[in-house]
């Protein structure tokens, strides 16, 4: 799309005012549907980092109580959009989206099969 200088300025001002609307608030309410990592299952393979469209997943490493290192991923709650790309990529079922746990989805499929 071609855009003149005036249009470009208007466009920029529009974007700025939209941002101002968000950052002027002290609290931000966002959708509760976000990804959650199950730390016990995650082994830090980091397959979920690349597919995330919001770049909300980071690989972290921490020391456990017994002194061994544990690799795992961390979800940035503010960035996560809840699309579930990480869930579909995870080979260990270690990450799920709130309300869309694999068990919940399989239960829905089960209920389909039980219908007469």
Q: Give contact residues for other proteins (rule: CB under 8 A).
A: 33, 51, 53-54, 81-85, 87-90, 97, 100, 102, 105-106, 108-110, 112-113, 115
Query: Minimum distance from CB of 111 to other proteins (Å)?
Result: 9
Give the integer Cα–Cα distance in Å for 39 and 96: 11
- Give the nearer residue to other proteins in terms of CB position, either 72 or 85: 85
Q: Which is nearer to other proteins, 16 or 88 (CB)?
A: 88
Question: Minimum distance between the CB of residue 78 and other proteins, rounded to whole angstroms?
Answer: 16
CA–CA separation, 108 vs 90, rounded Å?
Answer: 21
- For other proteins, give the closer residue by CB, 10 or 55: 55
CA dihedral 71, 77, 79, 82 (to 10 degrees): 90
């Amino acid at each position: 799309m071609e855009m003149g200088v005036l249009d470009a300025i208007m466009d920029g001002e529009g974007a700025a005012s939209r941002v101002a609307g968000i950052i002027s608030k002290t609290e931000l309410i966002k959708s509760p549907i976000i990804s959650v990592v199950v730390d016990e299952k995650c082994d830090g393979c980091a397959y979920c980092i690349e597919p995330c469209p919001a770049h909300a997943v980071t690989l972290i490493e921490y020391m456990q109580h017994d002194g061994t290192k544990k690799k795992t991923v961390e979800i940035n709650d503010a960035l996560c959009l809840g699309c579930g790309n990480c869930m579909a990529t995870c080979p260990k079922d270690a990450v799920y989206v709130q309300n869309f746990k694999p068990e919940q989805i399989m239960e829905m499929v089960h209920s389909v099969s039980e219908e007469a």
